[in-house]
Amino acid sequence: MTKLEMVSERITSEIERGTLREGDLLPSEEKLAEQHGVSVGTVQKALARLAHLGLISREHGRGTFVKSSGVAPADIRYMRFRDDDGRDLVQYVHVSSIRRVKKKGPWSEFLGGETFVRIERTINMETRLAIYAEFYLREEEFLRLGVPRGALENNLRSLLDKRLALPTLRADQWIRFVPLPPAAARALGIKTGKPGFVMELRCYTLRDQPLSYQVVYSGPFSERFVVVR
């Protein structure tokens, strides 16, 4: 491990453990160089790398701060929809099920581990668009969340960030148009086997480690919406 990687790793570990929290001011470059036994130039390169990853922000005349993942360029929020008039559709989220899962599938291939928790939610955009979503976490991370069922109707990525210091820094996304599986069809109130929209999201956190796996389903709809990120 190079000195640059060592400094980046140590600061990332402090953010990951919660020792450094959103909004915290990091020591000066000179102090960091002294703490880690490296040159100021090495510290500057490490901070530039962490800023590029969205973990810190460097503000001229003020210093270097742990960045809010809510505003980080790489943060992946759950999509919002806007109609042709430019009005955001109000989302009504309902947790329909929380299940412990040992069955293997795309979620286990991505997340790794033996046991998972699947959070099943329906999301209604007023009466104009309905979505069914399955959100997978490793069981140990779900248990660490320690939140009541109602809290899972909020932004799940925000919960992981705020409670576990695990921000979602990037996501791979795939979309398909295929026959919907029975669970999705039932939740959306359409006939099993009817084609629908499917989006898979594989989300990564610090050190580019897998964090969550999600599948989003929707039946056919005729209105035109703007996807807001």
Answer yes or no: is pLDDT of 187 > 80: yes
User: Could you tell me which residues are beta bridge partners of residue 171?
Assistant: 203
Q: What's the CA dihedral at 40, 45, 49, 54 to 10 degrees?
A: 50
Distance CA 223, CA 219 (A): 12
Per-residue confidence at 74, pLDDT binned at 50, 70, 90? Answer: very low
Rounded mean pLDDT of the chain?
85
Phi, psi values for residue 129, rounded to 5° = -155, 135
Distance CA 202, CA 34 (A): 39
Per-residue confidence at 70, pLDDT binned at 50, 70, 90? Answer: very low
Distance CA 168, CA 75 (A): 6
pLDDT attached to residue 71: 35
Distance CA 69, CA 77 (A): 10
Distance CA 29, CA 134 (A): 44
Which CATH code of 3.90.1490.10, 3.40.470.10, 1.10.10.10, 3.40.50.2300 fits the domain covering 3-66?
A: 1.10.10.10
pLDDT attached to residue 75: 33
CATH topology assigned to domain 80-228: Chorismate lyase (3.40.1410)
Q: Where are the domains of the chain?
A: 3-66, 80-228
Distance CA 117, CA 160 (A): 14
H or E element, residue 202: strand 195-204
Distance CA 186, CA 146 (A): 29
Per-residue confidence at 76, pLDDT binned at 50, 70, 90? Answer: very low
51 vs 26 pLDDT, higher one: 26
| Region 42-47 average pLDDT | 92
Those residues with Cβ within 8 angstroms of residue 51's Cβ, 6 or more apart along the chain or in another chain: 57, 58
User: Could you tell me which residues are beta bridge partners of residue 100?
Assistant: 117
Give, as one character, the DSSP assignment of residue 88.
Answer: B
Write out pLDDT tens, residues 119-144: 999 988 766 788 999 999 999 999 99
